[in-house]
């Protein structure tokens, strides 16, 4: 039933609870720059590349920086983030995520990661999840960041599965827009009020099973 089908998973906030660490690192960066950064504003940064996130952050703080300064601030945020993830363990895999990925693989569905993060591989290795994916496409593999569909189209190409037979799991508005632009169906992970463009929204992978996949 699931022959020639694939699921492409976003990483941060879908499989592992690292979205909170990206937020904390940006918040600390904002405070260093002299302004506050709320969780509501953070929704705009989810799924978005590091440099694009910085542009959004600076626009919120009404701060203008030179290219050189921007690169230094982006490095500072990345160092803060890397420090926060340095001790993560498989305990931080979100509820039901590993089980759901294993279930779909046993049903013959191919699996890929489609993450904007250039740190995706470090996180997957720390969580011992690398063997659960047939392809891993991250922020180092693409030129155009979400909401552009490049990341998901590259994942489908690596898996040799047509985009219309791929389902994306995403926790960000930018990622859902990217999935739709790629011609894929999309399951939102989080709140239906925020992720209203997804085909369905669930609170986490622990709420998913093979039967629910058939209806999407
Ligand atoms: C995404 C996160 O997965 O990766 C964003 O949702 C983050 O918050 C982006 O900005 C880029 O991550 P990194 O690790 O390359 O800075
Ligand atoms: Mg995410």
**Active site positions, annotated:** 10, 12
pLDDT at site 41: 94
pLDDT at site 2: 79
**Burial zone of 33 (CB within 10 Å; 0-12 exposed, 13-18 middle, 19+ buried):** middle
> Given phi > 0 = left and psi -120 to 50 = alpha, else beta, which region is 4?
left
Q: What is the DSSP letter of 16?
A: B
CA distance 179 to 206: 21
Helices and strands in the chain, H and E counts:
9, 6
| Index of the ligand 1 atom closest to the CA of residue 45 | 8
Nearest CA to ligand 1 atom 13: 117
pLDDT at site 3: 82
pLDDT at site 216: 84
61 and 30 Cβ atoms separated by less than 8 Å: yes
pLDDT at site 80: 98
DSSP H or E stretch at residue 7? strand 6-9
Residues in contact with 12: Cβ distance below 8 Å, sequence separation at least 6, in sequence order:
18, 19, 22, 46, 115, 117, 123, 171
Count Cβ atoms below 10 Å from residue 193 Cβ, excluding itself: 7
pLDDT at site 215: 80
Mean pLDDT by 10 residues, the chain (216 residues): 91 94 96 95 92 96 96 98 96 97 97 97 97 97 94 98 98 96 98 95 96 86
**From the CB of 76, is ligand 1 less than 6 Å away?**
no
pLDDT at site 40: 92
Pocket test for ligand 1, best of 37, 42, 51, 53 (most atoms within 8 A of CB): 53
pLDDT at site 214: 84
Rounded to the nearest angstrom, the distance between the alpha carbon of 137 and the centre of ligand 2 is 14
Angle between helices 50-60 and 19-33 (to 10 degrees): 50
């Amino acid at each position: 039933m699931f022959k020639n089908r694939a699921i492409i998973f976003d990483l941060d906030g879908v499989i592992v609870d690292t979205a909170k660490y990206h937020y904390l690192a940006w918040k600390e960066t904002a405070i260093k720059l002299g302004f506050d950064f709320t969780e509501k504003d953070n929704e705009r940064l989810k799924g978005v590349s590091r440099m694009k996130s910085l542009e959004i952050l600076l626009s919120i703080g009404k701060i203008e920086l030179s290219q050189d300064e921007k690169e230094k601030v982006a490095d500072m945020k990345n160092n803060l983030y890397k420090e926060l993830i340095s001790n993560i363990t498989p305990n931080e895999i979100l509820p039901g995520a590993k089980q759901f990925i294993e279930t779909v693989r046993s049903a013959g569905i191919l699996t890929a990661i489609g993450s904007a993060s250039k740190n995706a591989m470090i996180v997957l290795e720390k969580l011992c999840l690398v063997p659960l994916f047939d392809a891993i496409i991250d922020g180092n593999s693409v030129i155009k960041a979400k909401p552009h569909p490049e990341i998901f189209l590259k994942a489908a190409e690596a898996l040799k599965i047509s985009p219309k037979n791929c389902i994306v799991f995403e926790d960000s508005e930018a990622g859902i827009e990217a999935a739709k632009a790629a011609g894929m169906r999309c399951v939102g992970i989080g709140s239906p009020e925020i992720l209203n463009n997804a085909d369905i929204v669930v609170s986490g992978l622990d709420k998913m099973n093979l039967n629910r996949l058939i209806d999407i």
